A = this chain, B = another copy of it.
Amino acid sequence: MNLFYQPLLPEGVFHLDADESKHAVRVLRKNVGDVIRLIDGKGIFYDASITKADPAKCQFTITSQTAEAKNNYSIHIAISPTKNTDRIEWFVEKAVEIGVDKITLIACQKSERVHLKTERLERVAVSAMKQSLKATLPQINGIIKLNDVIRQSTEHEKFIAYVDQTNPDHLKNMITHDASYLVLIGPEGDFSETELTLALQYNFKKVSLGKSRLRTETAGMAACHILNLFNS
């Protein structure tokens, strides 16, 4: 099944953009009267019937709509961007597939990258949303200072993943069901002690993600997977 994405559907835009029009009409050979399925990235699936099979601006009319089932929990991963942008893009793809509500890129003391445009990450997220048949596009926030994320966090359960031989508390044992979660994932070289101390002051709990040493993007994906597994 192919899903088409039109974020302006709730505002009454009843055509596909140029790329998706071309895909529908030229590649999939959709014609007038054919049924397509759309999402708005805001949690609604739409069935639609094509009214004009224009490869530049494919028009349709909505025949029905269904709301995506909502989770009783929410997952926010705040993660240091990786030096190699492929790796953070990969994290975004996998987090969206597995299930995530919000991703925030954070600038930490040891972050190797402090500039990164979110446009490309958003394209990756849209593609992963369609691929995994979801209707909600996670929010992706461009780089924010870690200290600001810590101070402004409003989630109920807040964690900082910290590699520490003496840390016995695995994330899977520290969470309660149906909460709003925020997990901080540091850069290669981890958070500084100053950053850890600030997080603990703001009631973040220090957690382990297992005994293996994981790369940043793997740690982010593991945290996301654990929170989903625990709640499903």
A residues touching B (Cβ–Cβ < 8 Å)?
A: 90, 94, 97-99, 131-134, 170, 172, 210-215, 218, 221-222, 225-226, 228-229, 232
**A214 closest partner in B (C-beta):** B97
Inter-chain contacts of A232 with B (CB < 8 A)? 170, 210-211
B132 and A214 form a contact (CB under 8 A): yes
Closest approach, in angstroms, between the C-beta of A166 and any C-beta of chain B? 17
**Set of chain B residues within 8 Å of A215, measured between Cβ atoms:** 97, 131-132
Most buried by B among A133, A172, A213: A213
| Pick from B90, B134, B222: contact of A98, CB under 8 Å | B222
Q: Given A90-B90, A225-B222, A225-B225: A212 and B172 within 8 A (CB)?
A: no
Known: A98-B212, A211-B232, A212-B228; 11 extra A-B contacts, CB below 8 A, are A90-B90, A97-B218, A98-B214, A99-B212, A131-B213, A131-B215, A132-B213, A134-B212, A210-B229, A222-B225, A229-B229
Please give me the residue from chain B that is nearest to A210 by CB atom.
B232
For the complex of A and B, the 9 pairs showing the least CB-CB separation, nearest first, are A132-B213, A133-B213, A97-B218, A132-B212, A225-B225, A97-B214, A210-B232, A99-B212, A94-B218
A200 to chain B minimum Cβ distance, whole angstroms, is 24
Compute how far the CA of A132 lies from the CA of B97 in the bound complex, rounded to whole angstroms: 24
CA A21 – CA B27 in complex, angstroms? 51
Q: Can you pick out 19 interface pairs between chain A and chain B where the beta carbons lie within 8 Å of each other?
A: A90-B90, A94-B221, A97-B215, A98-B212, A98-B218, A99-B212, A131-B213, A132-B213, A132-B214, A133-B213, A134-B212, A172-B229, A210-B232, A211-B232, A212-B228, A221-B221, A222-B225, A225-B225, A229-B229
